[in-house]
Structure 1
């Protein structure tokens, strides 16, 4: 059937337009399928191409039985696209069979103009304005144009449309409309076309191409998954990137999307030893001996020791109860009170002075006689036994000669002994030298023997 072919062609044209433009903007599409009725009352003398348009066009607008040509099967299809601000543009194709074409002119009462099953075909484009977008009852006005054929006769039309949608859900509803179609050629009469159909809204923009329309996409600029409303899960661990602390590495929900390779409960990104199970307090690193020093930094990983000694226990080499780190004499048994060094006893002090008083000087001078070298070396050996002890080298004289001369001589002799001791290995900071002249005799200066006792050197411990 030639007219059926025309309708199919129009439907393909409409659907082709839809597919070509369907994803240009983030606005829904609407497709309506249904039936149409064509009404040519009044149409003049009833002869197609010769009747005149009457002034009483709305007189029998609802006289369905006498004037409407209704094809109850699927006879119209339209597709429209919302273009913003309440406006939409649509294209429609329709098919009908005409048996009544207005009234026979001049009849009284008027007689319906019966015709012989004329085929009706129309393709129309319409711009519509919806007054109440988003409501259940959605009225609209439209204006547009098209081309209509009745059998082999066709002409362009200027159309005005009034209608409304009733939406049962977000996507499905009913559409009712009436279009006034004014023909530009005399051989096609002006007429009404009424349409009722089921409407379906669909489609929309998908800017990121993830299959979720922008209007429903929580991340419209980034491709994602339907599970997360269009937001991405880059590493595929079931946690969307916005909530994933490690969006590029698959992890667990317990770790906020981060991996925990060694299973120690510390995410790899925070774990300084991500491949070896460790402790949270040590940023995920192990501590085999539990001394608070990580195995990697512990010189003694299997023996507990303080961090100050690189994880190793402190030694007490001399066994005196003072650790080597605090022991000023780590190789000599000492006392805690003396920082691990041995105490200078009274016996040691007496031995020092027994040696010191045998030191011989040249008469009236501070020069030490060579035969005193052995005595001085014995004194050096004793002082080295007590490396943290400090001593004063004291010089004394008898009362022979002037007091000032004796003072100078005692100073010089004390300093001479000190210099010898320093030169032979005793730390200088441990020694001081002082002369007392004749002021501190230990015997009488009236006898040779007493004066000899008074001429002496003493080495005494400095008590702090």
Structure 2
């Protein structure tokens, strides 16, 4: 029987210690210091002991109380509300069993023994109901375990059941009261109750950043933070933790990932070129009073719409001719729209007369539309005059004398008029300004019967076309 009790004691301790390395929570360790009382009376044994729980609270007659620190226990949190506790107690037993009647005097008295020494080592696994009660102060628990108890230097293994209550003053310190029933496996060790009361100190939790959140539950264990963010900081106190805050040092709004929008225009300050004035997203938060697409700060005319190319101002028309200065080739002189804002200056009669003087000196090869070599100088002089009047339009007419057939003269006059037009175009005169026509022998200016008259009739004329 003795070997069985020792085997049970060792088995219980091994099981308990083998699970003590399981995953723990904050402050997984606790130490208890207190006193204990041993009550061997109400355990259902024969006299001098009594029935179970009979006079359970008869402290004065049945409890052997050791008045100093007589119980030390160490606890380790396991998981899911379970805790392993290993403890040791000492006591001195001088009351054992119920009151008995003194045969000589007839008086009742407690069955006394001669200060038996009492020692025990016990291990138990208990379940806490604290989370079930959702309480931070009260922690009732129920446990089971085993141990070894020595009574007056005789030992035996025990199977234990315990019921207790802890009251926590704070996260670290509490008071504990416990009752344990010990069922002995040897006849020489009675079954008994052991009561204890004492202080409990929790320790072992690590809080590196001292933010009140232990490292194992702290998502940012090296940065002091808030419980609502699992220990991570919110430096600007805007309700958005720093890791998700694009502006962690400036209070802002959740819709902008923690960044501020001081002017409420929907553009966060860090991207807003005008953070104190409400503006447009398209202009990076700056206003555009005249709606011309140029931010007021860059707009030389903020209250008058104008293009960006003119710094937000409308293009001026200095001369009031309906052509904006940017398109007006004569911005300070009223002109015609068709003439790019410049006035149309037509050549005078004297100029036209001068052109015709040159035109009559244009010499062609006989019966052909090709120029003689000495005519190039005359044609160049005409080019100069045409260029002086870039908006004037001219008609070039070709004429012949009456020698030869009328049809051949008509064709020749047309070829010669076009030859002059082609020369002018080739030398920089806009083709749209020139027309050419041949009149053959129909418009003589002299008598074709004389040699001198026929010479005058062989000519090219230049006429101004009125717009």
Provide the TM-score with structure 2 as the length reference: 0.64
Q: Displacement of 1:451 after TM fit?
A: 9.5
SS in 2 for 1:420: helix
1:418 equivalent to 2:421? Answer yes
C-alpha contact 1:44 1:52 (8 A) present in aligned 2: no
Matching residue within 378, 382, 395 for 1:379: 382
Matching residue within 112, 117, 124 for 1:126: 124
Q: Displacement of 1:438 after TM fit?
A: 4.3
Q: Displacement of 1:40 after TM fit?
A: 1.4
C-alpha contact 2:23 2:78 (8 A) present in aligned 1: no
The aligned counterpart of 1:113 is: 111
Q: Displacement of 1:394 after TM fit?
A: 4.5
C-alpha contact 1:356 1:458 (8 A) present in aligned 2: no
Change (3 A) 1:76 1:442: farther
Gaps of 5+ in 2: 1-16, 261-266, 287-292, 299-305
Q: Displacement of 1:180 after TM fit?
A: 1.1
Matching residue within 354, 357, 361 for 2:356: 354
Match runs of 1:45-64 below 5 Å: 56-64=51-59
C-alpha contact 1:329 1:387 (8 A) present in aligned 2: no
C-alpha contact 1:407 1:435 (8 A) present in aligned 2: no
SS in 1 for 2:41: coil
Aligned residues: 420
The aligned counterpart of 1:456 is: 460
Change (3 A) 1:377 1:147: same
Whole-Å separation in 2 of the counterparts to 1:133 and 1:231: 22
C-alpha contact 2:334 2:342 (8 A) present in aligned 1: yes
What are the Cα deviations for residues 380-438 of structure 1, in whole angstroms up to 9, with x where unaligned?
A: 112323456665544455676555434432332122112322443435x5555532434
C-alpha contact 2:346 2:389 (8 A) present in aligned 1: no
What are the Cα deviations for residues 30-66 of structure 1, in whole angstroms up to 9, with x where unaligned?
A: 5554432211126899xxxxx9996834333232221
Q: Displacement of 1:193 after TM fit?
A: 0.7
C-alpha contact 2:100 2:110 (8 A) present in aligned 1: no
1:92 equivalent to 2:93? Answer no
The aligned counterpart of 2:11 is: none
The aligned counterpart of 1:71 is: 66
C-alpha contact 1:33 1:74 (8 A) present in aligned 2: yes
Whole-Å separation in 2 of the counterparts to 1:53 and 1:346: 152
SS in 2 for 1:133: helix
Matching residue within 86, 94, 97 for 1:102: 97
1:225 equivalent to 2:227? Answer no
Change (3 A) 1:396 1:140: farther
Whole-Å separation in 1 of the counterparts to 2:29 and 2:67: 25
Q: Displacement of 1:458 after TM fit?
A: 2.6
Please give the root-mean-square deviation of Cα atoms over the aligned residues, in Å. Answer: 5.8
Q: Displacement of 1:95 after TM fit?
A: 3.7
Change (3 A) 1:126 1:385: farther
The aligned counterpart of 1:437 is: 439
SS in 2 for 1:66: helix
C-alpha contact 1:128 1:141 (8 A) present in aligned 2: yes
Whole-Å separation in 1 of the counterparts to 2:176 and 2:341: 105
The aligned counterpart of 1:35 is: 35
Q: Displacement of 1:462 after TM fit?
A: 8.5
Match runs of 1:317-356 below 5 Å: 325-328=326-329, 338-341=339-342, 343-347=344-348, 350-351=352-353, 353-355=355-357
Gaps of 5+ in 1: 1-16, 46-50, 260-265, 274-278, 286-290, 298-304
1:241 equivalent to 2:242? Answer yes
Q: Displacement of 1:359 after TM fit?
A: 4.3
Provide the TM-score with structure 1 as the length reference: 0.64
